[in-house]
Homo-oligomer: A and B are copies of this chain.
Amino acid sequence: MGRRIYLEDVPLEEAWTRFTRALTEAGLDAPFPGEWVPLEQALGRVTAEPIWARLSVPPYAAAAMDGFAVRARDTAGATETQPRVLPVPPGPDGIGACYVDTGDPLPPWADAVVPVEQVQFDGEAPERATRITLYQPVPPWANVRPVAEDIAAAELVLPANHRLRPVDLGVIAACGYATVPVRRQPRVAILPTGTELIPPEEAAARGVRPGELIEFNSLVLAAQVREWGGLPTRFPIVPDDFERLLEATREAARTHDLVLINAGSSAGSEDFTARVVSTLGTLLVHGVAVRPGHPVILGILRVDGRSVPVIGVPGFPVSAALTGEIFVEPLLARWLGLPPRRRPRLDAVLTRKLLSPLGDEEWVRVTVGRVGGRYVAAPLSRGAGVLSSLVRADGILRIPRFVEGYDQGETVAVELYTDPEAIEGTILAIGSHDMALDLMAQFLAERWPGRRLRSANAGSLGGLIALRRGECHLAGTHLLDPESGEYNLPYVRRYLAGVPVVVVTLAHREQGLIVAPGNPKGIRDLRDLARPDVRFVNRQRGAGTRVLLDYSLQRLGIDPASIPGYDREELTHLAVAAAVASGRADVGLGIRAAAAAMGLDFLPLALERYDLVIPQDLYEDPWFRPLRELLHDSRFRAAVAALPGYDVRAMGVEVARLGP
């Protein structure tokens, strides 16, 4: 009887040190030996030894232009008025010229080339000329490409540990090679484990049943390995059976340089990885003080006398991907003789306060945009299961151990995933989530390659506040003012007082009650929310929908406390709809489109106006024009109008220009 504590809490640096020390002892830390591959297949491979030129380039003196090979001294004194005439080919006295094409070897007797444009010749073609006339002299070696102008035999062409680019292949071929010695690519085995896992193909074919999880981590890990120069092998899913995992691991270790065991879950009863590692070799680390990624396992397997490193990769998708970056990438780099990859960094202003557990190093995903001449970083979901946050991430902010976090407005260093060019083209929207904004992002990327619209959900109010702080380019908002019954403008006046902004309508949307198909609980209106048999799902404070709800409840004299589930908050319309669809709630307030997307019923309550709030100077800026154009683009309007409950008649209308 006892409380289970199953994980160590090894700091990242120490975990890495233990791992590399063990690798060194096993003789596994040196760059891999070379193999000779045809140049045609060598792009992106890494040289295993220096490349010394076997031939000089060019191997002989050659004509650098099309023209006539001559002896410079025979052209001396030629002028427009007193031209020199030379026979082709040279006469017995050795005086004369002969035609050469660019690249042709220079005849032994010649020491210069007169470009064809500078001479007059008889006959139709210079190739058939018998006499040429020169109007100016040429110096010795003019228009001659000397031997070894490019590369001299025995010269160092490329050092070892160089990743081969297209031009490198050309130079290597030019100096006498048809093959090149490159480092063998590390073979990496990826073993997904977990009885609950099903392959994507199966899920795509028949959907997912409760208790099942789609196995996609091995896709991500394999792609990472390939990107980093390794050769991945995805093993079939191994069910939760110690013996079978043991066998699969042994099998993988026989034929690979590195084994990744991806646990179906972080530390559950299914997790046999640690036991397998200690059975087949040495368990070095079980649990690293970094999040996401905590339950990482590091070890060395010994199979058939070979030592093979093994990494137990956590099951949560974000943890899995980051474990790849933290442990797999540097190991592959070492084996390939490359420096561990370092991402471009930039300093950005943090849009939200971040608190982080003292004991762990935390990797926070952020989206980055350039707003008003400075970079801002908006933290994304920190859930280890939220892979989409990694997809939307432009970079990573590391919060070291023993740092408890950063304040809103603080300048932090971001390691970029996205290339800086793309960030310059990013329009950053913070505010209420809306499906028309998703469409806008799609149309923008399609019509203006290189431009992006990123939206971070912070609710309508959060958006206005972020805009006031200069943390985004625009805010999407649908806030009803209880006093005036007017949408958005009162809030803009209050929260952006004195800031010159344009308020433009994106669309009107139908708000209402989202209920299960057929409305089994027979819900009619908001009064039913107070029924004890009805479970409600709410939106977060500051969300326009939440404001609408509280406003309506107040008018109806309904006490929020009397509503079961009032305290359960979701961040988007779709999340609310999803909660109802899954049967965990009976009703939620949201837009018709969300209900329709999930095949749910909908009871309309109100038509609300969703506006975009944009600083005036930006609104006028050419950089912003694509977004303005979209608001008047017929295809985009049609696409939005096609969303259930959306009315685009007012799209693009400037509701107001506020500010001084």
Query: Is the C-beta of A583 less than 8 angstroms from some C-beta in chain B?
Result: yes
- CB pair B214–A173 under 8 Å, yes or no, is yes
- CB pair A178–B153 under 8 Å, yes or no, is no
A53 to chain B, nearest CB (A): 9
Give which listed residue, B59, B169, B579, contacts A208 with CB less than 8 A: B59
Segment of A196-204, A395-403, A404-412, A460-468 engaged in the interface with chain B: A196-204
A231 to chain B, nearest CB (A): 13
- CB pair A40–B234 under 8 Å, yes or no, is yes
Which residues of chain B are within 8 angstroms of A147 by Cβ–Cβ distance? 575, 578-579, 581-582, 584
- CB pair B125–A170 under 8 Å, yes or no, is no
The residue on B at minimum CB distance from A217 is B170
Task: Name, among A39, A116, A167, A575, the residue most crowded by chain B CB atoms within 10 Å (CB to CB).
Answer: A167
Q: A43-B223, A66-B268, A321-B166 are in contact. Are A152 and B575 (CB under 8 A)?
A: yes
- CB pair B3–A385 under 8 Å, yes or no, is no
A196 to B66, CA, bound (A): 15
Query: Is the C-beta of A557 less than 8 angstroms from some C-beta in chain B?
Result: no
Which residues of chain B are within 8 angstroms of A60 by Cβ–Cβ distance? 210, 582
Kindly identify, within residues 222 to 253 of chain A, every residue whose CB is under 8 Å from any CB belonging to chain B.
222-224, 226-227, 234
Task: Name, among A61, A161, A425, the residue most crowded by chain B CB atoms within 10 Å (CB to CB).
Answer: A161
Q: A219-B173, A420-B344 are in contact. Are A266 and B102 (CB under 8 A)?
A: yes
| 30 cross-chain CB contacts under 8 A | A50-B442, A56-B581, A58-B213, A59-B207, A59-B582, A66-B265, A101-B269, A103-B213, A148-B574, A149-B381, A150-B383, A150-B388, A152-B594, A153-B581, A154-B435, A157-B388, A159-B445, A165-B227, A166-B219, A166-B321, A166-B324, A170-B317, A173-B219, A176-B207, A177-B204, A338-B450, A339-B421, A339-B425, A339-B449, A342-B421
Q: A105-B210, A338-B449, A597-B154 are in contact. Are A219 and B119 (CB under 8 A)?
A: no
A387 to B150, CA, bound (A): 7
- CB pair B201–A104 under 8 Å, yes or no, is no
Query: Is the C-beta of A439 less than 8 angstroms from some C-beta in chain B?
Result: yes
- CB pair B446–A160 under 8 Å, yes or no, is yes
Copies in the complex: 2
A137 to B461, CA, bound (A): 32
The residue on B at minimum CB distance from A226 is B43
The residue on B at minimum CB distance from A390 is B167
- CB pair A169–B219 under 8 Å, yes or no, is yes
A125 to B207, CA, bound (A): 33
A49 to chain B, nearest CB (A): 9
Task: Name, among A104, A125, A173, A572, the residue most crowded by chain B CB atoms within 10 Å (CB to CB).
Answer: A173
Query: Is the C-beta of A547 less than 8 angstroms from some C-beta in chain B?
Result: no
Kindly identify, within residues 358 to 406 of chain A, every residue whose CB is under 8 Å from any CB belonging to chain B.
381, 383, 385-391
Interface string of A263-304 (1 = CB under 8 A from B): 011111110000000000000000000000000000000000
Query: Is the C-beta of A91 less than 8 angstroms from some C-beta in chain B?
Result: no
- CB pair B317–A387 under 8 Å, yes or no, is no
Give which listed residue, B104, B122, B435, B598, contacts A211 with CB less than 8 A: B104
A126 to B77, CA, bound (A): 104
Which residues of chain B are within 8 angstroms of A58 by Cβ–Cβ distance? 213, 385
Query: Is the C-beta of A641 less than 8 angstroms from some C-beta in chain B?
Result: no
Which residues of chain B are within 8 angstroms of A338 by Cβ–Cβ distance? 449-450
Q: A154-B598, A578-B148 are in contact. Are A2 and B40 (CB under 8 A)?
A: no
A78 to chain B, nearest CB (A): 14
A421 to B333, CA, bound (A): 15
Give which listed residue, B200, B222, B268, B439, contacts A101 with CB less than 8 A: B268
- CB pair B446–A122 under 8 Å, yes or no, is no
- CB pair A438–B178 under 8 Å, yes or no, is no
Give which listed residue, B3, B162, B170, B196, contacts A119 with CB less than 8 A: B3
The residue on B at minimum CB distance from A569 is B141
The residue on B at minimum CB distance from A338 is B449
- CB pair B213–A385 under 8 Å, yes or no, is no
A97 to chain B, nearest CB (A): 15
Which residues of chain B are within 8 angstroms of A80 by Cβ–Cβ distance? none
Interface string of A1-19 (1 = CB under 8 A from B): 1111100000000000000
Query: Is the C-beta of A168 less than 8 angstroms from some C-beta in chain B?
Result: yes
- CB pair A117–B438 under 8 Å, yes or no, is no
9 tightest A-B contacts by CB?
Answer: A339-B450, A152-B574, A154-B597, A101-B268, A166-B223, A148-B578, A173-B216, A156-B438, A159-B445
The residue on B at minimum CB distance from A383 is B149
Query: Is the C-beta of A315 less than 8 angstroms from some C-beta in chain B?
Result: yes
Give which listed residue, B199, B224, B268, contacts A102 with CB less than 8 A: B268
Kindly identify, within residues 100 to 126 of chain A, every residue whose CB is under 8 Å from any CB belonging to chain B.
101-105, 108, 116-123, 125-126
Query: Is the C-beta of A577 less than 8 angstroms from some C-beta in chain B?
Result: yes
